[in-house]
Chain A
Amino acid sequence: MSVENNRNVGQQDYYMVDIEDYPESNWDQFKQVVKRTFSTELFVGLWVVLREMLKFNIHTVKYPEEKLPLGPRYRAIHEMLRLMESGTERCIGCGLCEKICISDCIRMETKIDENSRKEVSEYSINFGRCIFCGYCAEVCPELAIVHGGRYENVSEQRAHYSMFDDLLTPMDTFKAGQQKEFPGFGAIIPGSDESVKKTPLAY
């Protein structure tokens, strides 16, 4: 498999879980019911709870005071990134995210700006429809639209975080060097430097 197609970039330490076979005949089902009714399986569970309670070793995460770390490829509310060098938005208004969106929730308007460049004048993602599939981030040629880590979507209005200006990295965050690249689908994959060929342009 070539480097471009190998998308498995995580830790691959998976193992199989040992699961008992499902009963196949009626007789097997009957045997399973009898076995579960008259064995002490129930008390095994109760014992584990009691034991852990006495040990004061509780694993429950106390959300919202405590939050679990997110996986690097977690796909929550989108973000629009800025260019590292100039701080202007990366989005060029190509419209590929709008086209590829399978739940048809991205809408954008573009126009010509005063420098005769294409500019996004309006942009919104309808998060009532978004299924967070990540296609938009994957298709974006500029690494402009990415998924962020915001999974708490409670707000008075969804519109509070679905417009272009809300998605764009705030300037102070950007200046503080806090803008993060997205490592998920669409990001630069390991080893891509070697596979990039220079465009022959003799300027």
Chain B
Amino acid sequence: MSKQINFTIDGRSVECQSGESILDVARREGFYIPTMCYLAKATPNASCRMCVVEVEGVDGLVLSCNTPAIEGASITTESDILYKERQNIMKLYNVNHPLQCGVCDKSGECDLQNKTTEFDLAEQTFATQEQKRKKKKWGVLSYDPYLCIMCEKCTSVCNEVVGSEALYIKPGGYKSVIDNHFGDCIQCGECISVCPVGAMASSDFKYNSNAWELQKVPSACAHCSSACNLEYEVKHSGIDSSGSSEIYRVTNEDDFDSLCGAGRFGYDYENRVAIKDEKAFNSAVEAFKNADTIKFNSMITNEEALILQRLKDKNGYRLVNEEARNYQNFMNSYSSVSGTSLYSGDLQAIKDSDYVITLGSSVSRDNPMIRFALATAVNINRANVAYLHPIEDYKLENLVTQFIRYEVGSEEGVMAMLLEAFASDEAKEEQKAFFSELDMGYISGESNVNEDEIKNLKSKMLRKKSPVIVIGADVMAHPSSSNIAKMVALLEKSSEFKVVIIPTNTNTLGVSMICDLDSEEGSSVVGYNVHAATTLCALGDGDLDMPALNQQEGTFTSIDKRVVPLNAALPHAGYELNDIAIALGVESEETINYTSELPTSKGFKSVEFDSLENYYTNGGEAIRGYLLDNKKIKTKKADEAISNITELEDYNGSVIYSVDHISQFNTFTNKTHQIIDKANLIGSEQFAMAAKIKGGQKVKFMFNGKEITRVFNLDSHLKGTVARHSTFDLHDSTSSGKYRYTKVQIQEEGN
């Protein structure tokens, strides 16, 4: 345990944990220390030297960003000497800085501009020979080396927070520039958000609007279960006075939190409707009256989920959402052993961890924030990361210490091997029936995981303090998912491991807690964002237009088990789900009135929507909505027993894995203009040979009962016989709830 320290800043006594830097403590306590290169979420660069402070009894100035506070120290943050020092630093930063504030995108929110004014530099008195440099464009990112002040924030987020190690410094004194290993760049735009000047700019936003004209709407990202904090920046579109507005860009609290490429660039998926279409509304209400099933996916708010549940309570609909039902079943089985309604870990637990195992998830694609958290764990805590998956992910090669490849379908056996390795002896005693039946040789053979690999994995555990296991979507739809869930819970109970069970879609966790889901569809189905006989859709291609998630108020339940608010960035002129509910007799004036009615028995709190907060404190603590209560659940002895490992279904021949591109998540990101990845099939040489196809060829195969045509692309980094198949353009893929690996017969198009 780190110990408490007392010291004084500007005469006021403050407290902190030992090891915390002076700057962190000062900022948390509300003292202002200017910086140019400091980023709270990464290790200090110490390149700007603006954060200097005076410490009593110490000669010279001390860098507050990388100096830990010590007991009894007396620190001064403002004095004439410090002012002069900082003024001189700003003079150096301003050397040859182009005088193009008039057109620069950063103008108005530029650190260099602000601090130049703050330190009262009305004129520049010296200059240097200007170097010839080249402006660069790397996809969504544009780099202007003339504007660059070499603070190194971009390289440190790219290395430490994103973990892709794409950006690097080409050193050369005053000639230094930033360069990009473009092949490693995942186009997340983190470098754009942290750049204090206009050097790293969004290619799309460049010269589109001045920062001060944009209105910020704080909300939550709607693309995956991390539900990251973001601000939609909105302005009227065009110069006419029609009143229509658009989202110009997305920003976030970049000092403390991150966004992935989908969140930052996938924002313009709103559903524009001119007027309320009364005819379509009436026929939709009619369809609801005749229907017996509502089919939906988990890209809805908690409030909408509650409306659907109320409709079920009143009219007896069946609610069908296979993907959320799988998650619900998984969590129920998990709770039956763990005795808690929710898993113990969250993203912060992964960031703070020094030993992470991920099982059954392509983390960089399923939930980029887990990848970012892994990067932080690896770079800050020197964490050991084991990635257990049938397909090696070369985009993670900087982060993963040990990659363990297992056969498709053998997740249950692999989990059993982990349990055998990490569970305590008492747990083994408790589940004696299971452990005595466990045939490690057989499992090892079937899953193709060598027992030595697990031994090696276990040996790394030595002296690690905070292990975390991350369970992904592959496992939820596995035939023995319930058994896997119990094993996960037992591992959590009988070891130090914290568990994160990734909610498979944006609000899967919320939906699984709010709705009673049914497995069978009835004869007459209404779909909400899922194609059915009558479809309500936010994509603009259904029978009745619904508001997209950037046009709605409501809440999400995120992977952090947090209920986070979501605000409408753009207006929606049409109808919403609540209008239909009112027509069907479930009455509440506004959708957000349901926020306080979310089921408290499941851990929600009775809090009004308008009192949910969404901001960060000076110390970097996220004050967003509220945390769910982790309820105690009474376990029954009979439910606790883990059954024996079932035999494997064969996954021979061509197997495809449903997984999307890094920033391309779903039908909504597919609508946005900056995310342009095409749906395709990506496989290794080996896969191509086995399926008798070539790279660049169009192929067709049956997928979920439909014939699909895709372009096959070869990827020289990939190994093995499983191909990656993107499904983001398929309407129902996210809600199908099918196991993510599919055996297919691949044919060339035209045969």
Contact = CB atoms under 8 A, between A and B. Distances in A.
B716 interface: no
B213 A202 contact: no
A99 interface: yes
Nearest to B98: A201
B120 interface: no
B130 interface: yes
Given A93-B103, A94-B103, A201-B96, A118 B207 contact: yes
A112 B239 contact: no
B123 interface: yes
B209 interface: yes
B103 A92 contact: yes
Contacts of A111: 207-208
A141 interface: yes
B207 A119 contact: yes
A106 B138 CA distance: 35
Nearest to B203: A112
B130 A201 contact: yes
A117 interface: yes
Given A94-B103, A199-B124, A108 B212 contact: no
B208 A200 contact: no
Contact of B99 (A123, A126, A142, A199): A199
B750 interface: no
B203 to A, nearest CB: 9
Nearest to B129: A202
Given A99-B212, A107-B239, A122-B238, A200 B103 contact: no
Interface in B107-149: 107, 123-130, 135
Given A112-B207, A200-B125, A202-B130, A122 B212 contact: no
A108 B239 CA distance: 6
Nearest to A126: B241
B184 to A, nearest CB: 26
Given A110-B207, A124-B239, A201 B127 contact: yes
A197 interface: yes
A109 B238 contact: yes
B395 interface: no
Contact of A110 (B126, B130, B209, B241): B209
Interface bin, chain A? 20 to 34
A138 interface: no
B102 interface: yes
A108 B208 CA distance: 10
Contact of B130 (A116, A122, A126, A203): A203
A98 interface: yes
A108 B209 CA distance: 9
Contacts of B126: 200
Contacts of A186: none
Nearest to A99: B212
A111 B208 CA distance: 5
A182 to B, nearest CB: 19
A174 B28 CA distance: 59
Nearest to B130: A203
Contact of B102 (A94, A119, A200, A202): A94
B129 A117 contact: no
B124 A200 contact: yes
A95 interface: yes
Interface string A83-110: 0000000001111101100000001111
B102 A141 contact: yes
B127 A200 contact: yes
B210 interface: yes
A203 B209 CA distance: 31
Given A111-B208, A112-B207, A122-B239, A98 B102 contact: no
Contacts of B124: 199-200
A200 B96 CA distance: 8
B694 interface: no
A119 B123 CA distance: 28
A95 B96 contact: no
A134 B619 CA distance: 45
Contacts of A123: 239
A200 B129 CA distance: 10
A138 B347 CA distance: 52
B130 A112 contact: no
Interface-central residue, B99, B102, B212, by most chain A CB under 10 Å: B102
B632 to A, nearest CB: 57
A175 to B, nearest CB: 27
B698 interface: no
B78 to A, nearest CB: 30
B206 interface: yes
A123 B135 CA distance: 29
B210 A99 contact: yes
A137 B288 CA distance: 60
B271 to A, nearest CB: 24
B371 to A, nearest CB: 31
Interface in B306-339: none
Nearest to B135: A116
Interface string A10-47: 00000000000000000000000000000000000000
B636 to A, nearest CB: 65
Interface string A152-177: 00000000000000000000000000
A150 B449 CA distance: 84
Nearest to B128: A202
B674 to A, nearest CB: 14
A170 to B, nearest CB: 21
B138 to A, nearest CB: 15
A202 B101 CA distance: 20
A92 B99 CA distance: 13
A109 B239 contact: yes
Interface-central residue, B107, B135, B210, B241, by most chain A CB under 10 Å: B210
A194 to B, nearest CB: 15
Contacts of B207: 93, 110-112, 117-119
Contacts of B208: 110-112
Contacts of A99: 210, 212-213
A66 to B, nearest CB: 38
B202 to A, nearest CB: 11
Given A98-B213, A108-B239, A202-B130, 15 more contacts: A93-B207, A94-B103, A95-B213, A99-B213, A107-B236, A109-B239, A110-B207, A111-B208, A116-B135, A118-B207, A141-B102, A197-B123, A200-B127, A202-B127, A202-B129
Interface of B: 96, 99, 101-103, 107, 123-130, 135, 206-210, 212-213, 236, 238-239, 241
Of all A-B residue pairs in the complex, the 10 with the closest CB atoms, nearest first, are A94-B102, A200-B127, A118-B103, A118-B207, A95-B210, A112-B207, A107-B239, A122-B239, A202-B127, A124-B239
Interface of A: 92-96, 98-99, 107-112, 116-119, 122-124, 126, 141-142, 197, 199-203
9 contacts: A93-B103, A95-B210, A110-B207, A110-B208, A112-B206, A112-B208, A116-B135, A141-B102, A199-B124
